[in-house]
Structure formats: C-alpha cells, structure tokens
C-alpha cells in the first residue's frame, strides 16, 4: 500500500506519464454483429445465438445502430472520422472468445486525433485521444474451484475503445479523465457506463521518468481497473512501485499487470515475451464501414451541447462559480433543467440565483426522496415563477423556501399557494408602521433599554416581534428601516 | 435428355432435374418412389463409391411424403419439388450431422440450416444426405477426408477430384439428381471435370455463405454440380440471390437462368488466354480444340489474348487461402462443440484437441496461414497477395473488353490415381487453371467436353464477367450439345433399376 504522503515528495523528482485505454459498452438493444439481445444480469448463456456461440458457418452483420452511437462520441471529441474504416480480426485463444478472434479495428479505426476537455481545478484541460475504435466484447469466464464457467451473454456486446495519447501527467488528471468520459458518454446517451456492471472499463499504461527527461520510461500496462476509486489508487500504486525500483537502481520490466482491488496491489500477468501475436488482418466477412454525409448530418443535427462547452458558458454568460458550473454539468438532465429555467426566467441576471435554487433546494429535495432530476415534481416553469415572486418582493426568501417545499409536495403553483395562504410580503409602509407602533408599545421596557440603554441586541427582538405579528410576511428591509425610525436610532 | 425406357442401369437414376420435377408434378411418379429409388441406389452402389458421409433416409422420406401430400392436396409446389439433392458436408444442416470432412466436428449436429439449404427446401428439393469432401474443403482429390476415400465412378482407381469429390461422384453415378459443392480455388469445377458433370462457381456474393463452414471467406462460394447445364441453371436459380445474413452477399437482380439457354452463340466473343494453354495433356488439348472449333462453327468468334498475371495466382492463393483458413479454423477449440481431448490445463486441452482433431493438410495450412499473418509480415505476404489479386482482376477486366467469355481447360489432366500427387505442391498445381477465378471473384463453369482415350472425362472451363452467369450457361449449353457426353454415363456397377414409371412415361 502507498503511504498517503509519500507520492507528493516523490513527484518533485519524478514525473509520471499515463495513457489510458477505456472500453465503453454501447447501449444498443442487440449485439454488434448479430440480432441477439443485450441485457445485464440475464441467466448465463441465455443471450446467445449461433453467431455469438461461434458456430461453424455463421457470419457477422454489422448493426448500424452501433455506428450512430460511436459517431456521437467521435464528433463530441472532435475526432477525425474515417469515411471508410475497417474491421480486423484480432486472434487469441480463450474459452470466452468463441471464434478464436475478436472483431475489432486495427490500422483503419473509425476515429482518430480527437480530444476530451476535462475539468481540473475549475479549469478545462485538454487530453488528446489517439483513436476511438469499434469492437465486440468477449464473454465472461469465472473460475469456481477446479472448473471454469463461460458465460457468452456479454460476447458480441458493442464496445468503443478510447485510447488517449500517453500524455496524462498526474493521477488526478487520469481520474478526472475517467469521470469526464463517463459523464460525456452518459450525456450523449450512448452508454449507461456503469463501472460496476463492466460497462466502462479502464486499462492504464504507466511509466515514470525524471523531471526534465525527454525520453519515456519503460511502461507497464495495468488491467482490470473497474471503479473510479481504483483508477487513481491503482495508478498511484504503480507509480510508487516503479519509482522505488528505479531509485533502488533497478529496471522496469515491460509487462501487463493485473490490479487486485482487494489487496490494493497489482500482480504481473504476462511479460512482453509472452505477449500474444494477434495476427491482425482485415475481416473478409465484413465490407468497409462507410460513414456518409447523411449519417454525419443527422448526428450533427441531434448532438447536444457538450458538458465542457456548458461549463464554460455557465461561467461566462450566467456568472456562475466554477464549482456550481461543474456540479450542474455533472448530469445532462440537471444542466438541461437549469437551462430550461434560465430560458423561461425574465431578465438575464438571475443565473446565480437560479443555480442556487436548483443546486440547494431542488437537488436537496430530490436526493432526500431518491428521485432523479428527470422526474422532478417541480418544473422549470414552476421554479422560475417561484424565484420571480422572491425577486419581485412579493414574498421573502424564507417564505419562498416554504412555498418551494409545499409546491414540491403538492404540485400547487407557487402564486396560488401565496394567494391561498395570504403569504404576500407586506411592503406597505403604512401597514407596517401601524404594526411597529403596536409592537413597540407592547414592550416599553425593551424599547427603553434599546433606545436609552444602548442595548443593540434588542433590535432583533423587535424585528422578530414584527415577523411574528405578520407570520413572516413583513418586508425585512422596510421593517428594519421603519423600526430604526420608530425607536429613534 | 433422358428417355423413360426401363433398360438397365435404370435411366431414372440419370433423369434430369427438370424431368424429375416434371414427372412428379404430372403424377407419372411419386416423390416417394423417386426418393426410394435414390436411397436404394445409394445403398447398392455407395459402399464401393464412398460419396456419402451420411444418408438421411428418414428426413428424405418425410420430405418426399410432404411433396406427395401437397400434390394430392393441390398445394402449389416449388420448382424442385421431389428432386433428390445431396449436399457437400461443409453445408450446415439443421438436425443433420455436419462434419466438413473433419474429425474435429465429429458428432456435431447443427441447430440451423445454411441459407442454400433453406432455399433448396423452400423449392421443394428432397435432401438425401451429406457428401464427402476434403477436410474443411482443403484438397483436390477428396483424399484429405478424415472419414473415407471417394472413388471416381468412371474409374475406381482414380480420385473424383476435390474438394467437392463426393458431390461430383454422387451426381456422376446417378445417386441424386444434383448436388451442391463449394468452390474456393476450383473445388466445384475440378471435380466436375474429373467426373464428367457440370459444375458452376457463381460470382462471389451471388450465393449466400450463411451456413457454409468457412475455409477462405474471401474466396468461398457455393454452387451446383449437375448432369446438365440446364440443371445447373435450375439449381442455381434456387440458391442465388441477396441474403442480409451475409454481408458479402450481392444485392443484385437475379435473372431467370433457364432463359439463358438459347442454344445460340452467334457473335459471342470467346477469349482464349494463352497462359492457360501452355502445359496440359494432349487429350485435354485436343478436346479443347474441338470445343473451340464447335463454338466457331456455331457463329462464335475466337479472340486470342493474354492474362499476364496468371502465374502469380497460385502463390497468391496459397497466401490468402491459408491465412483466412488459419483464422476461420481458430474456433475449433473443443470448448463448445465437436471433439475435445481433455487435458489438465487449458493450453494443453487446445493443443491435444486440435492435434487430434485436424488432419495433416489442415494443420499444414493453419501453420502456413499463421506464419503469413504474424506481426511484421502482414505487408510482405497477405497484403502483397491482395495486391496481386487486384492485378489479376485487372487482367480479367481488360480481357472482358475484348471478349464475352474466356474458354480454358478446367484441369491440365483428367482424374489422377489415388496417391498420385506425392507432394502438397504437386496437388496444389492440379488447380492451376481454376484459382484465378476465385481470386477475381468471377463466375466460372466446367462443362464436359469429351473423354480421353482411356475413357476419362475432360472439362472445358468458361469464365465470365461478374454476375454474368447467364452467358456462361448459354455458351456451356452449346458446348454440351456439341461435344458433351450425351447419354454416356460412368460404366460402374448397374445398381438397381430405376423407379417404376406410372403411365409408361414418355
């Protein structure tokens, strides 16, 4: 295990270089090359057909729905899209790989040279992507005692593999990249990206070098990183392992290591010498994958504004803090809710106030009830109407929160609640003056202690008394004003 | 073409596809009688011949009974209703064991039908059984079958050709009206030539490969073996056409092939590529000369031309085909189906299963293909071979500017004796005239064009433009009429007489 404070000291001398290979399962109804259905948690081998089983004579037919989803990611990462990409066979023997090869893409991938902007410390940092290619998932092997069980339900599930340039310079950046990619694929609605279900999986290539050094050190590949927490933990532990070896005068072996989350360390899986020769060649059963202008056009027309763009816009146009902007873009439905509210709301200076209501009152209530934002009982129009009541001084902020709760609970319109319960703020000076006179007259000792005795703390007592008298409806600013006049200081 | 006389050896055994279907439709004979006669003939002759790996008597009887039942009920039937057809054992058949001639698939019963099998069933054909072939269609003599040799009906000391040797022998010996084979480098046309039958390899993509146990995916194609060109047209009609389950299937209109058989070749430009007339037996050369002359007599025009990259076809083929085969055969790992040889660990299980399950030639090609595809050598071998394919294709494109079909011998020699090809390379050279057609994806047909002095059949090959099977059938029909075998059938054992003919026939 890594000592928590060990890494920062080591990183003054050493620089880590990280590249990530992330597999994302695409949320299609059927598999990438066959009509077999896809579902998580189905009984073993129930989601198969002759092709998925690799039976003799079966042939793959590409599921065009996969292309739509992959292109969304390609375009969202500003990748170059190949008009003609190619599927290739990648050969290795394993019981959960029914054909003895995986259909993947090799030297002609769908997407190249893209980038993903990740939010680090309130600013955007650009991570370059070497490629995004399509491939089929393998099945799953579990070892029980001396026997092994193969489940081919996952075999043939469509994947995109996103490969970053080996330019990620810190553990934090690697973790943020994973979170940003996770957010993006959910934002684009191309994957559920649930790491626990294996819908998002990460392999990391890690090397270290002395700061100022140009050449890359020998890298190792970490496999089986299957939670966000482990991404950072596994990479950090590997960086420390490598630095320790190098500082002791040793050399790094180029190898693949398997991350063991339970023990919090990685174990060598295979060395470069044992590495598979995948014998890639273009799959003769599949024609080139063609992307024409019509497909590109249809995707460009329907592509949502990206989270990194909104993060920027929320700060520039709506004046939000980086923290609020970041929270809003953590989920597309949440950001959409904010945008819908801001679009309805009169004027364009209320961004911060709207964000505040969305992030505090609304999210608080939703979280408490375990309700997703998409099923919020309060609509953007309702929230805007409520905020407008506060902004116009019709009700106080405090009453506003009460009305929010009631409207959230009952669905009644805020204005109707105000009307029915008579909660309009009292700003009429004549009315307030009369109430203040009554309150002061009722507490002569306190009035004297304040006015003559100089007990400043008693001012709050009178404000409270006025609020009590008006059930909180008194306009607090006007009330304070009038109270000072009445009490003479 | 056949007469309905009841003379030995049973002319019904040699009835054409069209004739059989017509007689059944007309009620001259029942489908059940036809299939019983075929089963009896298989029973009598095939012990010696070795064409069948499995005879599905039960399935065939049920299918025939269904045809008879439908006829009695006046339900419209397909064009092949009641016609007994057998299948090369690389075609997957639901509920009927499929071995591809290999031990490794021993005992595997497929849960689905190949596209072509479904098409034949839909047309009313009666599937009588599965036919022997070289293991995974790798070979030119059917000697590589893991199960049995198949003899040439014209001379039992000789091979029937390969890899569709069971398909050619069964049709030549009159055990079925037609068969299907597959052709990756000549595996339909070469055995057809050796057995004196018609064999057609359609354009790549014309017939779906769904359910064809893959040998070399970019070359494999299914086609008919029949006793006449007209029959080839009928069977091709039933199996050709777009299939969305095969991504390499061509979505092109399918003409009525029977309409192509006009008997007319006036003005047809027949190309004679000089590279195909360099080395061959004298008998073959003479038969081809007679064939060319017959075409000229009927108004065709001969064009001498050159396909300069022909010599590269054999080496290119033996890079592409083994490379794809090594990949396609990776799935035979003993995990899910077929034979497994158990071992204490996984790698050992793979090695023992594949070691015991595959024969020598298959192993040779897997090793060759694995070598060809290894990292760093792809460009030098597979990619280079694909570039050669492009050159070969261009040769043909250019040739077809000057001619409409190409005429060549199908093979340089007639059928050879068992064990005659001592080395693999000698065996590979038996396919020298048929490989280019697969590399270029063109249609080709072999039509009998006479016998050698020893009474062995000789085949003339026609190659055509992509999707132009019609012209091949037209010219093939003329060759058949002019220099074909006529009513000559293999001398072989007579076998039982044909089925009784209701109403005397005609």
Inter-chain contact A89–B327, Cβ cutoff 8 Å? yes
Residue A1 has pLDDT above 70, yes or no: no
For residue B491, the model assigns a pLDDT of: 84
* Distance, CA of A103 to CA of A135 (rounded, Å): 6
Please check whether residue A83 is in contact with residue A291, taking contact to mean a CB–CB distance below 8 angstroms. Answer: yes
Please check whether residue A24 is in contact with residue A159, taking contact to mean a CB–CB distance below 8 angstroms. Answer: yes
Instruction: Report chain B's mean pLDDT, rounded to a whole number.
Output: 94
Which residue of chain A has the CA closest to B116?
A: A57
Percent of chain B predicted with pLDDT > 70: 95
Residue A77 has pLDDT above 60, yes or no: yes
Residue A477 has pLDDT above 50, yes or no: yes
* Distance, CA of A66 to CA of A35 (rounded, Å): 12
Give every strand in the sheet of B126-131, ordered side by side.
B52-55, B126-131, B84-88, B178-182, B222-226, B198-201, B444-451, B457-464, B405-409, B269-273, B301-305
* Distance, CA of B41 to CA of B161 (rounded, Å): 22
pLDDT digits (tens, 9 = 90+) for B366-389: 999 999 999 889 999 999 999 999
For residue B8, the model assigns a pLDDT of: 39
For residue B7, the model assigns a pLDDT of: 32
Residue B503 has pLDDT above 80, yes or no: no
Closest CA to B31 of B11, B5, B60: B60
The long-range contacts involving A256-262, CB below 8 angstroms and separated by at least 24 positions, are: A256/A220, A256/A221, A256/A223, A257/A220, A257/A221, A257/A222, A257/A223, A258/A222, A258/A223, A258/A224, A259/A222, A259/A223, A259/A224, A259/A225, A259/A230, A259/A234, A260/A224, A261/A226, A261/A227, A261/A230, A261/A234
pLDDT digits (tens, 9 = 90+) for B139-149: 999 999 999 99
Please check whether residue B504 is in contact with residue B17, taking contact to mean a CB–CB distance below 8 angstroms. Answer: no
Please check whether residue B445 is in contact with residue B460, taking contact to mean a CB–CB distance below 8 angstroms. Answer: no
H or E segment to which residue B348 belongs: helix B346-357
Inter-chain contact B323–A281, Cβ cutoff 8 Å? yes
Of the ranges A6-15, A369-378, A457-466, the best mean pLDDT one:
A369-378
For residue A349, the model assigns a pLDDT of: 83
For residue A171, the model assigns a pLDDT of: 94
Task: Dump the DSSP string for A408-433.
Answer: HHH---HHHHHHHHT---B--HHHHH
Kindly state the tokens that stand for A100. Answer: 């003895």
Percent of chain A predicted with pLDDT > 70: 98
* Distance, CA of B108 to CA of B338 (rounded, Å): 5
Higher pLDDT, B261 or A266: B261
pLDDT digits (tens, 9 = 90+) for A138-181: 999 998 888 889 999 999 999 999 999 999 999 999 999 999 99
For residue A393, the model assigns a pLDDT of: 82
* Distance, CA of A61 to CA of A266 (rounded, Å): 39
* Distance, CA of B113 to CA of B98 (rounded, Å): 11
* Distance, CA of B406 to CA of B394 (rounded, Å): 15
Kindly state the tokens that stand for A157. Answer: 């599930």
Instruction: Evaluate the omega torsion of the peptide bond into residue A406 and state whether it is cis, within 30 degrees of 0.
Output: no
How many CB atoms neighbour CB A307 within 10 A? 25
- Grade residue B11 by pLDDT with cuts at 50, 70 and 90: low
pLDDT digits (tens, 9 = 90+) for A243-264: 999 999 999 999 999 988 888 8
Kindly state the tokens that stand for B469. Answer: 């099977």
Q: What are phi and psi of A234, to 5 degrees?
A: -65, -45
Closest CA to B177 of B138, B225, B145: B225
Residue A94 has pLDDT above 70, yes or no: yes
Residue B5 has pLDDT above 80, yes or no: no
Nearest CA of chain B to the CA of A98: how many Å?
Answer: 6
Residue A183 has pLDDT above 80, yes or no: yes
Residue A12 has pLDDT above 70, yes or no: yes
* Distance, CA of A278 to CA of A488 (rounded, Å): 90
Lowest mean pLDDT among A55-59, A484-488, B217-221, B231-235: A484-488
Nearest to B370 among A57, A279, A280 (CB): A279
Instruction: Report chain A's mean pLDDT, rounded to a whole number.
Output: 92
Which residues on B lie below 8 Å from A285 (Cβ)?
A: 217, 247-248
Give CA angle at B442 (B437, B444), nearest 5°: 70
Query: Once rounded to an integer, what is the mean pLDDT over residues A19-25?
Result: 97
Helices A171-187 and A307-316, packing angle to 10 deg: 100
* Distance, CA of B369 to CA of B390 (rounded, Å): 20
Sign of CA dihedral B110, B113, B116, B117: positive
Residue B506 has pLDDT above 70, yes or no: no
Lowest mean pLDDT among A132-136, A216-220, A421-425, B429-433: A421-425
Which residues on A lie below 8 Å from B247 (Cβ)?
A: 59-62, 285-287
**CA-CA-CA-CA dihedral for B368, B370, B372, B377, to nearest 10:** -150
A-interface mutation test, from B244, B323, B336, most A Cβ less than 10 A away: B336
Report the SS3 class of residue B444. Answer: strand
Residue A345 has pLDDT above 90, yes or no: yes
- Grade residue B435 by pLDDT with cuts at 50, 70 and 90: very high
Distances (CA, A) of A136 to A87, B173, B231: 10, 47, 43
Task: Dump the DSSP string for B308-339.
Answer: TTGGGHHHHHHHHHHHHHHHHGGG-SSSSSS-
Q: What are phi and psi of B254, to 5 degrees?
A: -105, 120
For residue B499, the model assigns a pLDDT of: 52
Query: Once rounded to an integer, what is the mean pLDDT over residues B99-104?
Result: 98
pLDDT digits (tens, 9 = 90+) for B265-304: 999 999 999 999 999 999 999 999 999 999 999 999 999 9
Closest CA to A61 of A110, A103, A20: A103
- Grade residue A456 by pLDDT with cuts at 50, 70 and 90: confident
For residue B496, the model assigns a pLDDT of: 52
Query: Once rounded to an integer, what is the mean pLDDT over residues A440-462?
Result: 88
**How many CA atoms lie within 13 Å of B496's alpha carbon, on the beta-carbon side?**
15
- Grade residue B6 by pLDDT with cuts at 50, 70 and 90: very low
- Grade residue A272 by pLDDT with cuts at 50, 70 and 90: low
- Grade residue B495 by pLDDT with cuts at 50, 70 and 90: low
ipTM, 2 decimals?
0.94
Please check whether residue A100 is in contact with residue B370, taking contact to mean a CB–CB distance below 8 angstroms. Answer: no
Q: Which residues lie below 8 Å from residue A44, measured CB to CB, with a gap of 6+?
A: A149, A151, A153
For residue A475, the model assigns a pLDDT of: 87
**Quick one: DSSP state of residue A141?**
E
For residue B498, the model assigns a pLDDT of: 52
Closest CA to A339 of A369, A403, A375, A384: A384
Which residues on A lie below 8 Å from B346 (Cβ)?
A: 95
Which residues on A lie below 8 Å from B373 (Cβ)?
A: 91, 279-281
pLDDT digits (tens, 9 = 90+) for A315-343: 999 999 999 999 999 999 999 999 999 99
Which residues on B lie below 8 Å from A62 (Cβ)?
A: 247
Instruction: Evaluate the omega torsion of the peptide bond into residue B163 and state whether it is cis, within 30 degrees of 0.
Output: yes
Tell me whether B212 touches chain A (CB under 8 Å): yes
pLDDT digits (tens, 9 = 90+) for B75-88: 999 999 999 999 99
- Grade residue A395 by pLDDT with cuts at 50, 70 and 90: confident
Task: Dump the DSSP string for A282-321.
Answer: E-TTS--EE--HHHHHHHHHHPPPPHHHHHHHHHHTT---
Lowest mean pLDDT among A425-434, B151-160, B490-499: B490-499
Report the SS3 class of residue B342. Answer: coil
- Grade residue B493 by pLDDT with cuts at 50, 70 and 90: low
Give CA angle at A473 (A468, A475), nearest 5°: 110
- Grade residue A287 by pLDDT with cuts at 50, 70 and 90: very high
- Grade residue A27 by pLDDT with cuts at 50, 70 and 90: very high
H or E segment to which residue A487 belongs: helix A476-487
Radius of gyration of the CA atoms of chain B, in A: 21
Tell me whether B371 touches chain A (CB under 8 Å): no
Closest CA to A186 of A310, A50, A69: A69
Nearest to A56 among B92, B244, B335 (CB): B92
Helices then strands, each counted (H, E), chain B:
15, 11
Distances (CA, A) of A476 to A436, A460, A466, A472: 12, 11, 9, 9
Of all residues in chain A, what percent are helix, strand and coil, respectively (each to 5)?
A: 40, 20, 35
Lowest mean pLDDT among A454-458, B232-236, B276-280, B295-299: A454-458
* Distance, CA of B47 to CA of B27 (rounded, Å): 32
Higher pLDDT, A391 or B257: B257
Inter-chain contact A91–B327, Cβ cutoff 8 Å? yes
Closest CA to A139 of B337, B112, B214, B335: B335
Kindly state the tokens that stand for B187. Answer: 């595996």
Active site residues of B: 88, 163, 187
Report the SS3 class of residue B448. Answer: strand
Tell me whether B2 touches chain A (CB under 8 Å): no
pLDDT digits (tens, 9 = 90+) for B392-413: 999 999 999 999 999 999 999 9
- Grade residue A273 by pLDDT with cuts at 50, 70 and 90: low
pLDDT digits (tens, 9 = 90+) for B447-463: 999 999 999 999 999 99
Distances (CA, A) of B162 to A270, A443, B142: 44, 116, 5
pLDDT digits (tens, 9 = 90+) for B182-212: 999 999 999 999 999 999 999 999 999 999 9
* Distance, CA of A162 to CA of A181 (rounded, Å): 9
Q: Which residues lie below 8 Å from residue A146, measured CB to CB, with a gap of 6+?
A: none
Residue B497 has pLDDT above 80, yes or no: no
A-interface mutation test, from B91, B114, B323, B328, most A Cβ less than 10 A away: B328
Nearest CA of chain A to the CA of B95: how many Å?
Answer: 14
* Distance, CA of A122 to CA of A306 (rounded, Å): 17
For residue B163, the model assigns a pLDDT of: 97
Nearest CA of chain B to the CA of A295: how many Å?
Answer: 20
Query: Once rounded to an integer, what is the mean pLDDT over residues A292-305?
Result: 94
The residue behind tokens 């020298």 is B432
Radius of gyration of the CA atoms of chain A, in A: 31
Give every strand in the sheet of A88-91, ordered side by side.
A101-104, A88-91, A281-282
Q: Which residues lie below 8 Å from residue B15, measured CB to CB, with a gap of 6+?
A: B2, B23, B177, B498
């Amino acid at each position: 295990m890594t000592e928590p404070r060990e890494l920062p000291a080591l990183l003054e001398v050493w620089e880590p270089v990280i590249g990530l290979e992330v597999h994302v399962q695409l949320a299609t109804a059927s598999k990438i090359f066959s009509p077999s259905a896809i579902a998580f948690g189905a009984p073993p081998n129930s989601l198969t057909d002759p092709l998925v089983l690799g039976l003799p004579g079966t042939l793959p037919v590409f599921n065009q729905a996969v292309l739509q989803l992959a292109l969304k990611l390609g375009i969202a990462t500003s990748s170059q899209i190949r008009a003609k990409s190619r599927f290739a066979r990648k050969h290795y023997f394993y019981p959960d790989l029914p054909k003895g090869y995986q259909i993947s893409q090799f030297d002609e991938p769908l997407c190249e040279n893209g980038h993903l902007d990740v939010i680090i410390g309130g600013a955007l940092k650009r991570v370059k992507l070497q490629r995004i290619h399509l491939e089929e998932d393998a099945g799953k092997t579990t070892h029980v005692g001396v026997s092994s069980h193969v489940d081919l339900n996952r075999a043939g599930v469509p994947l995109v593999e996103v490969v970053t340039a080996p330019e990620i310079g810190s553990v934090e950046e690697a973790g943020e990249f994973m979170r940003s990619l996770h957010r993006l694929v959910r934002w684009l609605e191309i994957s559920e990206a649930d790491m626990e279900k294996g819908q998002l999986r990460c392999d990391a290539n890690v090397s270290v070098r002395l700061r100022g050094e140009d050449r890359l050190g020998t890298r190792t590949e970490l496999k089986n990183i299957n939670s966000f927490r482990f991404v950072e933990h596994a990479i950090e532990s590997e960086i420390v392992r490598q630095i320790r070896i190098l500082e002791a005068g040793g050399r790094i072996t180029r190898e693949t290591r398997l991350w063991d989350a339970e023990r919090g360390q990685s174990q060598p899986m295979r060395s470069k010498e044992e590495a598979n020769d995948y014998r890639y060649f273009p799959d003769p059963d599949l024609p080139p994958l063609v992307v024409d202008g019509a497909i590109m056009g249809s995707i460009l027309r329907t592509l949502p504004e990206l989270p990194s763009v909104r993060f920027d816009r929320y700060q520039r146009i709506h004046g939000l803090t980086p923290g609020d902007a970041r929270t809003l873009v953590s989920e597309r439905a949440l950001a959409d809710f904010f945008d819908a509210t801001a679009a309805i709301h009169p004027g364009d200076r209320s961004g911060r106030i709207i964000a505040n209501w969305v992030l505090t009152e609304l999210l608080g209530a939703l979280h408490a009830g375990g309700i997703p934002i998409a099923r919020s009982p309060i609509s953007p129009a309702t929230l805007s109407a409520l905020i407008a009541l506060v902004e116009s001084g019709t009700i106080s902020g405090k009453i506003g929160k009460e009305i929010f709760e009631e409207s959230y609970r009952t669905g009644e319109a805020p204005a109707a609640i105000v009307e029915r319960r008579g909660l309009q703020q009292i700003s009429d000076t004549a009315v307030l003056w009369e109430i203040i006179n009554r309150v002061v007259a009722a507490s002569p000792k306190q009035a004297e202690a304040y006015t003559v005795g100089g007990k400043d703390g008693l001012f709050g007592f009178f404000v409270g008394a006025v609020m009590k008298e008006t059930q909180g409806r008194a306009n607090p600013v006007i009330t304070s004003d009038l109270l000072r006049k009445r009490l003479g200081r | 073409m056949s007469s309905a006389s009841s003379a030995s050896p049973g002319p019904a055994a040699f009835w054409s596809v069209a004739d059989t279907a017509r007689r059944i439709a007309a009620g001259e004979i029942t489908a059940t009688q036809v299939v019983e006669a075929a089963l009896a003939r298989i029973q009598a002759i095939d012990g010696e011949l070795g064409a069948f790996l499995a005879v599905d008597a039960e399935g065939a009887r049920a299918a025939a009974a269904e045809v008879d039942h439908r006829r009695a009920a006046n339900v419209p039937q397909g064009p092949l209703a009641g016609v007994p057809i057998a299948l090369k054992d690389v075609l997957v058949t639901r509920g009927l064991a499929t071995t591809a001639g290999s031990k490794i698939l021993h005992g595997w019963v497929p849960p689905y039908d190949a596209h072509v099998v479904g098409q034949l069933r839909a047309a009313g054909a009666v599937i009588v059984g599965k036919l022997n072939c070289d293991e995974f269609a790798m070979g030119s003599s059917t000697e590589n079958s893991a199960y049995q040799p198949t003899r040439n009906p014209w001379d039992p000391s000789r091979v029937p050709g390969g890899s569709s040797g069971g398909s050619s022998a069964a049709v030549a010996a009159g055990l079925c009206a037609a068969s299907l084979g597959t052709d990756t480098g000549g595996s339909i046309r070469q055995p057809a030539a050796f057995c004196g039958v018609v064999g057609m390899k359609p354009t790549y993509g014309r017939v779906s490969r769904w359910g064809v146990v893959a040998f070399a995916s970019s070359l494999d194609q299914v086609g008919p073996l029949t006793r006449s060109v007209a029959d080839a047209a009928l069977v091709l009609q039933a199996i050709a056409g777009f299939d969305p389950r095969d991504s390499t299937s061509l979505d092109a209109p399918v003409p009525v092939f029977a309409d192509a058989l006009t008997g007319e070749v006036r003005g047809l430009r027949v190309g004679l590529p000089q590279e195909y007339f360099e080395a061959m037996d004298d008998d073959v050369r003479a038969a081809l000369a007679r064939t060319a002359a017959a075409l000229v007599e009927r108004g065709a025009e001969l064009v001498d031309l050159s396909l300069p990259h022909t010599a590269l076809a054999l080496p290119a083929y033996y890079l592409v085909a083994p490379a794809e085969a090594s990949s396609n055969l990776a799935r035979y790992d003993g995990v899910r189906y077929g034979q497994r040889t158990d071992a204490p660990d996984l790698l050992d299980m793979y090695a023992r299963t594949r070691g015991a399950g595959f024969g020598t030639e298959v192993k040779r090609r897997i090793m060759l293909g694995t070598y060809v595809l290894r990292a760093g050598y792809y460009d030098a071998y597979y990619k280079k071979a694909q570039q050669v394919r492009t050159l070969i294709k261009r040769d043909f494109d250019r040739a077809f500017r000057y001619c409409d079909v190409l005429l060549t011998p199908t093979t340089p020699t007639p059928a050879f004796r068992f064990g005659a090809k001592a080395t693999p390379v000698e065996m590979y050279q038996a396919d020298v005239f048929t490989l280019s057609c697969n590399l270029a994806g063109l249609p080709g047909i072999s039509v009998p064009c006479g016998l050698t002095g020893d009474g062995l059949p000789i085949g003339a090959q026609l190659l055509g433009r992509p999707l132009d099977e019609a012209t091949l059938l037209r010219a093939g029909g003329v060759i058949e009429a002019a220099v074909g075998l006529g009513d000559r059938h293999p001398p072989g054992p007579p076998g039982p007489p044909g089925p009784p003919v209701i109403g005397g026939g005609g």
